[in-house]
Amino acid sequence: MRRLIGAAVVAALVAGTAACGGSSGGAASGGSTDSFTLAAITPPSSFAIGAMASSGPEDPYYQAVYDRLLSVGTDGQPQADLATEWAVGDNGMSLDLTLREGVTFTDGAAFDAAAVKANLEKAKAAKGEAGSALGAVQSVKVVDPTHVSLKLNRPDPGLTAALARSSGYMASPQALDSADLATQPVGSGPYVLDSKQSTAGSVYVYTRNEDYWDKEAFPYDTLTIRFLEDMSATVNGLRSGQIDATATQTSDLVAAAEQADLNVETFFGGGLDGMYLWDRDGKLAPALKDVRVRQAINYATNRDAILESVKGGLGTVTSQVFPEGSLGYDEALDDAYPYDLDKAKQLMAEAGYADGFSITLPDFSPVYPDEQAAMTELLKSINITVEYKPTTGDQVVGSIMGGQWPLNYFTLTTSSPYELIGLTMTDQSPFNPFKNSDPELAKLIDAAYAATGDAQDDALQEVNKYVVDQAWFAPWDAVESAAITADGIDVTPVPGVSVPPLSAYQPAS
């Protein structure tokens, strides 16, 4: 026993001495271009083409290894990437792409039109978010090695935005069908995943792709993306110099970062936050068929108070569905429904619901306690009482699409006004659970899809105005994201994309 204790004491002393002498913890990389460490709130789900979400916190993992056909410019609009030029033709029924020459994948395969065709077909077949966004693509035709033509089954002005997100990732055609691609990506991107240095589900280390065609845009030699879920760990990592940057939509993290004197840059993150009034035909809650009731909910919504108390100020209050800077945005609609409880009550009375009514909604309180409390309170102010039904997080979306709720609090993130229309406003839209069909709206949507050039903005504004007047939704705010960086790092976020692209991080000038 004495020997055992003795050995333990020695081990502890050695541990203590070594701990005091070590200094690897404070290896700040800010300012230099040797390495860059990013914290992400999720590990990557899969590197397989078509398996990933349209856009979101996983983006950096994929952008490190995959180029996209298009990328998103700092104005939020698609810009050249692997495709150098693009043109919509045939009355919106085709999209022609001119491809960058001289690009090779890291396994030596050439990037050409055949590779684009193989990748797009793979993404479409995978049936994930990336595939759904390619729904309008009927076929991909190889014109010659540097030109492809996408034949569409309907005009889709949102297609270029999709190709600038996960639908446009290009993997080596030689690796596309390999099951290993899910964990061992082969792309043409600025970095190569170093599997030996990485730990699955935890830390992903990337080394520079020396043959990359645009090395200047990615100044760091080594990229590390670290999965960090905990807010304090993230802040301490940033403060101690172990992390250079992260992106978040959590107001608590932003507040903690500001308190710690870290650099915080906020920007529109692409999400529309608020109450989605699904049951416009009154199937579950007959009262919601009356536009005056839906408008009353909008007037009863104190957006400024909600933004401050619930969202910690991280957002921009709005009554309309398209965000500032996007096509179809109409400044006048921001105040379409100023907070006016008297008017809300008057509309309820006119609709014959002065005493209100009851509805059953999904219980989101485990995830969104403050949002749910705010919604309950505002509905109660016009005598709408809510009974909550327990729902697990992963049942939420399915139950919404299955038409189980007349309305609920929700955030939908989209890449363009066309995507929002496609998801929520047509009688085929997955987020139009009761398949409400409004001939007037359908006409306006058709016009918006057919419009080109400047006429798109006007046509989308008409759609926007109509759904706001008809109170299809009761938006609260356009969600803001924040990019938090340590000293020595500059970031230029892209509006409408919740996580800044990798190229947005640069050494401070």
Decide: is 233 part of the binding site for other proteins (CB under 8 A). yes
Q: 199 or 385, CB closer to other proteins?
A: 199
CB under 8 Å to 238, separation ≥6 — which residues? Answer: 39, 244, 245, 246, 257, 260, 262, 484, 485, 486
User: Do 245 and 505 form a contact (C-beta atoms < 8 A)?
Assistant: yes
Applying CB under 8 A, which part among 303-311, 379-387, 394-402, 484-492 lies near other proteins?
Answer: 394-402
Q: How far, rounded to the nearest angstrom, does the alpha carbon of residue 393 sit from its chain's CA centroid?
A: 18
Query: Which of 227, 388, 434, 466 contacts other proteins by CB under 8 A?
Result: 227
Provide the residue type at 233 as one letter: A
Task: Report the distance separating Cα 410 and Cα 416, nearest Å.
Answer: 18
User: Do 250 and 477 form a contact (C-beta atoms < 8 A)?
Assistant: no
Query: Which of 412, 444, 483, 494 contacts other proteins by CB under 8 A?
Result: 412
Q: 7 or 87, CB closer to other proteins?
A: 7
Decide: is 236 part of the binding site for other proteins (CB under 8 A). yes
Provide the residue type at 138 as one letter: Q
Applying CB under 8 A, which part among 139-147, 228-236, 301-309, 371-379 lies near other proteins?
Answer: 228-236
Find tokens 């356009």 and name the residue.
478
Task: Report the distance separating Cα 391 and Cα 212, nearest Å.
Answer: 47
Decide: is 392 part of the binding site for other proteins (CB under 8 A). yes
Applying CB under 8 A, which part among 8-16, 110-118, 264-272, 319-327 lies near other proteins?
Answer: 8-16
270: Cα within 13 Å, side-chain hemisphere: 26
User: Do 67 and 170 form a contact (C-beta atoms < 8 A)?
Assistant: yes
Q: 154 or 380, CB closer to other proteins?
A: 154
CB under 8 Å to 226, separation ≥6 — which residues? Answer: 37, 38, 39, 40, 202, 203, 204, 237, 243
Query: Which of 15, 332, 442, 508 contacts other proteins by CB under 8 A?
Result: 15
> Helix (H, G, I), strand (E, B), or coil: what is residue 230?
coil
Q: Could you count the other beta carbons within 10 Å of the beta carbon of residue 45?
A: 14
Decide: is 8 part of the binding site for other proteins (CB under 8 A). yes
CB under 8 Å to 398, separation ≥6 — which residues? Answer: none
Residues 51 to 70 in contact with other proteins, rule: CB under 8 A = 51, 53-54
Helices vs. strands in the chain: H and E counts, helices first: 15, 21
Q: Residue 286, class by beta-carbon neighbours within 10 Å (0-12 exposed, 13-18 middle, 19+ buried)? A: middle
User: Do 456 and 285 form a contact (C-beta atoms < 8 A)?
Assistant: no
Task: Report the distance separating Cα 204 and Cα 202, nearest Å.
Answer: 7
Q: How far is the CB of 113 from other proteins (least distance, A)?
A: 28
Q: How far is the CB of 314 from other proteins (least distance, A)?
A: 21
Task: Report the distance separating Cα 64 and Cα 57, nearest Å.
Answer: 13
Applying CB under 8 A, which part among 81-89, 231-239, 298-306, 328-336 lies near other proteins?
Answer: 231-239
Decide: is 183 part of the binding site for other proteins (CB under 8 A). yes
Query: Which of 177, 398, 435, 508 contacts other proteins by CB under 8 A?
Result: 398
Decide: is 110 part of the binding site for other proteins (CB under 8 A). no
Decide: is 139 part of the binding site for other proteins (CB under 8 A). no
Find tokens 């540097």 and name the residue.
146
Q: 385 or 428, CB closer to other proteins?
A: 428
Decide: is 182 part of the binding site for other proteins (CB under 8 A). yes
Residues 258 to 317 in contact with other proteins, rule: CB under 8 A = none
Query: Which of 430, 435, 446, 455 contacts other proteins by CB under 8 A?
Result: 430
Decide: is 453 part of the binding site for other proteins (CB under 8 A). no
Applying CB under 8 A, which part among 71-79, 230-238, 369-377, 466-474 lies near other proteins?
Answer: 230-238
Decide: is 11 part of the binding site for other proteins (CB under 8 A). yes
Q: How far is the CB of 299 from other proteins (least distance, A)?
A: 28
Query: Which of 71, 77, 106, 132 contacts other proteins by CB under 8 A?
Result: 132
- Which secondary structure element, helix H or strand E, spans residue 489, and what is its range? strand 489-491
Give the length of the chain. 509
Decide: is 393 part of the binding site for other proteins (CB under 8 A). yes
Backbone angles phi, psi at 360, to 5 degrees: -110, 125
Query: Which of 71, 77, 167, 242 contacts other proteins by CB under 8 A?
Result: 242
Provide the residue type at 256 as one letter: A
Decide: is 125 part of the binding site for other proteins (CB under 8 A). no
Decide: is 25 part of the binding site for other proteins (CB under 8 A). yes
Q: 40 or 474, CB closer to other proteins?
A: 40
Q: Give the CA diameter of the chain.
A: 88
475: Cα within 13 Å, side-chain hemisphere: 26
Applying CB under 8 A, which part among 44-52, 168-176, 465-473, 481-489 lies near other proteins?
Answer: 44-52
Decide: is 373 part of the binding site for other proteins (CB under 8 A). no
Q: How far is the CB of 8 from other proteins (least distance, A)?
A: 5
Decide: is 216 part of the binding site for other proteins (CB under 8 A). no
- Which secondary structure element, helix H or strand E, spans residue 380, and what is its range? helix 369-380
Decide: is 394 part of the binding site for other proteins (CB under 8 A). yes
Interface positions with other proteins (CB under 8 A): 1-2, 5, 8-9, 11-12, 15-16, 18-26, 39, 43-46, 48, 51, 53-54, 127-129, 132-133, 182-183, 199-203, 226-230, 232-234, 236-237, 239-243, 392-395, 397-398, 401-402, 412, 423, 430-431
